[in-house]
Amino acid sequence: MGLRGAPGKVALLKKVQLFEGLSDRQLQQIARLADEIDAPTGKVLARAGDTGREMFVIVDGQATVTTSQRRTLQLGTGDFFGEMSLLDGGPRSATVEAATPMHLLVIGQREFFELLAEAPLISKCIMRTLSQRLRKSDAAFSMCT
């Protein structure tokens, strides 16, 4: 189920919002840093409260995210998770479980910071995405109170 090396990874990364606007050369750098893994249905990929040591990009499949407030949402192909813990060193904010068999790209903490150094535009993309997620979370919370 692999992507057949860097060219396949680059093709996927081009579709990921986090890496929007990066050059092919920068995407190739990311592809070299990322590992490919498969996860069966039911596999917990991240657990709320645990220390995060990697981020994930979904190549294929779906995941269910459960927040500490017991809200759930679905992630699918091209979505990513785990970047918050890598950025601030804090515990995972949600539990993410494979809802279907999944194929993922995984970027470890050391590689993640290498990536930010090599492609500073990614920092801007991450900040934009985190801001959007926070706004969406705040809006959902406001509707519940």
Q: What is the DSSP string of 62-117?
A: -EEEEETTS-EEEE-TT-EE-HHHHHH--B-SEEEEESS-EEEEEEEHHHHHHHHH
Q: Nearest to residue 37, comparing CAs of 86, 3, 6?
A: 3
In order along its 145 residues, the chain shows pLDDT tens digits of 455 566 778 887 887 777 777 788 888 888 888 899 999 999 999 999 999 889 999 989 999 999 877 889 999 988 889 988 887 888 998 999 999 999 999 988 888 888 778 777 777 777 777 787 777 766 655 554 4
Q: Which domains are delineated in the chain?
A: 6-144 (2.60.120.10)
| Overall residue count recorded for the chain in this entry | 145
Q: Nearest to residue 92, comparing CAs of 62, 122, 54?
A: 54
State the residue for tokens 């498969």: 38
Write down the pLDDT at residue 132.
79
Write down the pLDDT at residue 99.
98
* CA of residue 21 relative to chain centroid, distance: 17
Write down the pLDDT at residue 101.
98
